[in-house]
Amino acid sequence: MDMLIGGKHISGEDSEDVINPYNGDVIDTIPIAHLQTAQKAIDEANNAKSSLCEMSAFKISNKLFNAVEKLKDNREDFAELLTLEVGKPINESLVELDRSVETLKLAAEEAKRIYGESVPLDAGLNGKGFFAFTQRLPLGVVAAITPFNYPLNLTIHKIAPAIACKNTVIIKPPTEAPLTVLKFAELLNEEFPDGVVNTITGYGSEVGDYLVTSPDVNKISFTGSVTTGMMISQKAGMKKVTLELGGNDPVVVLKDADIDKAVKGVINGAFLNAGQVCMGVKRIIIEDEIADEFGQKLVAETEKLIMGNPLSSETTLGTLISEKAAKQVEETVNNAVESGAKILTGGVRDGAFYEATVIDNVTPDMDLVVNETFGPVAPLIRVNGVEEAIEVANDTEYGLQAGVFTESYSDAMRCAQEIESGTVFINKQSTFRTDNMPFGGFKNSGVGKEGIKYAVEEMTKTKLIGLNLR
């Protein structure tokens, strides 16, 4: 599959195979771009700015709605391609498609709501007799650098609001799973002038770096690792950045919690997409009084998961993105066991598969929970009381999302106020998101917010226009 630059299909000097992690088959081949191609994408995006800005908000909204209908019409084809390149179960891919449609629809609606405001200058010294108002203007060119785990939905979260507020876009999809994104870009390009939507495939160390440092790119929206995010923040200069980075998300289960509800939340949160979710349940911080009962029920539900061919509707646990990724999870779990943790179920790797794993007696200093473990692992950390639970929850460099299960309003509000994360859900796992909510974390989990309305704010600049009426 080729790149799309300035409305034309562009191949590269080099290429790379896209591999199905389930069976090792080659799905397709993508070009590997170099700096000259990256500059061409930047040039085309800049050349297209005027044609997009000349379009009315009404027209942009309608064109985004047209793309919504096209994506709905091709839902099953997109979902199958997504499953082939990522390895997630087909039912999860269909959910990603439904969320992608919803996200695109929200952007189409938001395109008509790019408001400024009147500013009462007479509230300031010497302001009497002046009238002022603000406009929200596009930044120019937005570069979207996206990850493999939710490639389509997370790409749409970046480029749909960008286009809604009249920015042109350059998309750099992940080399491990670029195909769904490239296919969607073709669909969206049908609605807009050439150069509004551009794609470039290649390595982050080369073309990604070039986009980040180019003075002709006005905004970087990146989802990925903390290490890469920090490099982007250092190299981006004066351009605006939104960084959605890692998570080490806790679920706190207090002794008065509805255990069955908490178990269901952890199952959904720890094993979704084989645990490859930035806001996935990475640490289960549980009061010791109920830990044994909770662990038994969690094991029973975990063992009901079906690991197998991701294209089968019966499969509930797919592969990781690669065998290399599965080996990394295996090594991390084994290290925890050597340090005293106990596997209650799972813990076995087969190629790119890693069994859904529940592991008890985990301590906060183990690498399994100090760093983000990107795999289907549910670690139990036992604590005594809400105060220790909050302390352990905050003992991390991350702060993306958190969940708390309790029937106590006072404990719920204490956790909500004291846990250091961008979102705290009460009686819901951390792995929950609606596509209109502000999404973004504290600490090393990133800067800026996504969620269509909030992304538009990050992708516009404010101009004040003042009139002297005296």
Distance between CA atoms of residues 354 and 326, nearest Å: 6
CB 369 within 8 A of CB 283: yes
Please return the burial class of 320, using the count of CB atoms within 10 Å of its CB with bins 0-12, 13-18 and 19+: buried
Q: Which residue has the tokens 């073309």?
A: 207
Q: Which residues pair with 15 in a beta bridge?
A: 31
Is 372 tagged catalytic? no
347-385 burial: b if 16+ Cβ within 10 Å, else e: bebeebbbbbbbbbbbbbebebbebbbbbbbbbbbbbee
Q: Choose, from 92, 165, 176, 278, the residue flagged as catalytic.
A: 278
Q: Choose, from 44, 85, 96, 244, the residue flagged as catalytic.
A: 244
Q: What is the DSSP string of 29-87?
A: EEEE--HHHHHHHHHHHHHTHHHHHTS-HHHHHHHHHHHHHHHHHTHHHHHHHHHHHH-
Please return the burial class of 175, using the count of CB atoms within 10 Å of its CB with bins 0-12, 13-18 and 19+: middle
Is 165 tagged catalytic? no
Distance between CA atoms of residues 114 and 137, nearest Å: 9
The catalytic residues are 244, 278
